[in-house]
A and B are shown apart, each in its own frame.
Chain A
Amino acid sequence: MHHLLRTTSTSLLGATLLGTAAAAQDPRLERLDPRVRPLVASVIDSARAAGLPTESLVQRALEGATKGAPGELIAAAVRRLVADLGQARNALGPSATPPELAAGAAALRAGASPAVLAKLRRARPQTVTVPLAVLADLVASGVPVDSAAAAVLALATTTRDADLVEFRRAVERDIALGAPPGMAVSTAATAAYGATGAGVQLDAGARQARPSRP
């Protein structure tokens, strides 16, 4: 009994010290519930030790705190993001920047495969943050992963970040006008980098609004 108490006390003290040390490194974590703070802090410390960026992990935890999420959900969300960041780094390579890894993690979560991330890295000499973000965004809009990945890969080699964002807006507009998401991305990509499906017209235009015959 005495041994059990001593072991438990030592563990609690260790966890508390660990959590306190981590929290001290980032005072923003003070906003977390004291019961979950050590756990989240230790997960973030582990990620730091593994060479992963920690800012997005802190933000994910703070998001949970602001939304009043239970502690175990916050810890689980941070752990899941650590796994996604690790997978993104494996795909994008050790030189990937923190924003690239954050965007890569979002793309993986959306359903993109690590192979797509790796292809994107090879296809684009400059940063892949915005292409990855656009890819995640398109998939979240209902565009099939394969179609979104093909369009972003085709655009990424030559297109500026701002044009990629504009491409994303064109897809959003065409979906709002009634195009299926896959067709919208195909049409917008066609407009951006060349024809793949000429003859396909979206559901807008004069002929669509003509009154019917009497």
Chain B
Amino acid sequence: MTAGTRARAASLAAAWSLLVASAPAQTAGTLDVGISTVRYDGFLPSGALTVTPALRWERPGGGISARGTYLRFESGHRSLQGDVTGSLFAPRAATRWRGELGAAVGASRYVDFASFWHAVAAARLHLLGRERGAWIAGTAGRTSYGTAPRSVAAGGAGAWLRLAEFTVQLSVNHSHIGDTMYTDLQSSARAEPGPVVLEGTLGARMWSRGGGRGSYGEASAAISVGPRTALMIAGGRYPTDPIRGNVAGRYLTLAVRIRAVTPRHVVFPDRAAAPGASADGGTSLPVARLEVLAERNGPVRIVVHVADATRVELAGDFTDWEPLALTSTGPGVWEAVLPIVSGVHRINVRIDGTAWIVPAGTTRAPDDYGSDVGIFVVP
């Protein structure tokens, strides 16, 4: 089997997996579509279209991820890459130590001359604390760049610390790939303010023989803009990865991530089809998004965002299910301020007198009447 065949097979596996993401299991699939500008070391700058299907299957104590990446460069040349990774955690013990076994296989192909494949296995031992932790790891395997496979051996250690909303991490890894050798010292930070996940890395490659040298750094933001949609922006410089065949480069990527349907708890699977499906249910009904702004012991501001409407109403257990017309406070913004007590509440929204729908920003649940209702919580 050639590396190109492996690359196609791995990408097809990832794409196929996406199609079955709605199977009744803890599985999630995403599709990233974006544009990048990239300048690989030794190449001219180029724009590229990127398509990345991914699938993650998760069980307590382990999981498997599959990812494929298709790039089409300005030149018309294409790059195809696929990876499957998995990890298995030892059962949680009374001690603070926990073991992890992992494996990764992948292949990539560019035009018809540069093909890679790799297969590695890793073992990690974690020391877990409430706000901090550390690990040591070892990796072994094989990788090939169109020639005889080369051995991979790597070892590393790292530590992480959680500070309020930030998680910072420091790691050192030493790798041998055939006669190539290098050491990476890397730090990363992650913050999760509201609907945004921010991540940054800074690193340096040192004591290198054939693996390149220098510093690198990347930053990214993932912004959840709906129950199934997120914006991703990332950029920076990354080092050569001799195991996977990635050449060092600088890049800036802007992408839209669409999450495939994941299974939801269904209480009445045989209920009748909803006359007014939910806003996040993929129907052609107008999309409304609800924001609940609650202050302790004060009234609750209900904000409904609708792209195009002349009348927006809500009904819920805090209006005695009497339709209440909202006030337009700006383009696409409709509001009401209501006394709503702490607890779990049910709501539906109606736009321009059409069917009652479940606004995004609430949890959809069967309503006992053959339709759906939105659930939200006021603390």
Contacts and interface: CB of A to CB of B under 8 A. Distances in A.
Interface of A: 28, 56, 59-60, 62-67, 69, 73-74, 76-77, 80, 99, 102-103, 106, 109-111, 129-130, 132-134, 136-137, 139-142, 144-145, 147, 160-162, 164-165, 168-170, 172-173, 175-183, 186, 191, 193-200, 202-214
Across the A-B interface, give the 8 residue pairs with the lowest CB-CB distance, nearest first: A206-B218, A209-B234, A133-B344, A194-B130, A77-B368, A204-B222, A178-B30, A62-B321
29 contacts: A62-B320, A63-B367, A63-B373, A76-B368, A110-B365, A130-B343, A130-B377, A133-B375, A134-B377, A137-B363, A139-B265, A140-B264, A141-B265, A142-B262, A160-B379, A176-B230, A179-B28, A180-B28, A181-B28, A183-B56, A198-B126, A199-B135, A205-B190, A208-B32, A208-B220, A209-B32, A212-B81, A214-B110, A214-B247
Given A110-B265, A130-B343, A133-B377, A60 B28 contact: no
Interface string B137-180: 00000000000000000000000101000010000000000000
A176 B229 contact: yes
Contact of A133 (B34, B162, B227, B343): B343
B63 A183 contact: yes
A59 B48 CA distance: 55
Contacts of A175: 28, 227, 259, 262
A67 B375 contact: no
A162 B87 CA distance: 34
A181 B262 contact: yes
B371 A191 contact: no
Interface residues of B, number: 114
B265 A140 contact: yes
Given A133-B377, A199-B135, A213-B244, A177 B197 contact: yes
Given A177-B230, A198-B128, A209-B220, A106 B344 contact: yes
A177 B320 contact: no
Given A161-B379, A191-B192, 5 more contacts: A141-B265, A142-B262, A160-B379, A177-B257, A202-B197
B297 to A, nearest CB: 12
Q: Give the secondary structure class of A's interface.
A: helix
Contacts, number: 272
Given A63-B346, A64-B368, A69-B369, A177 B251 contact: no
Contacts of A129: 342-344
B370 A205 contact: no
Contacts of A99: 341-344
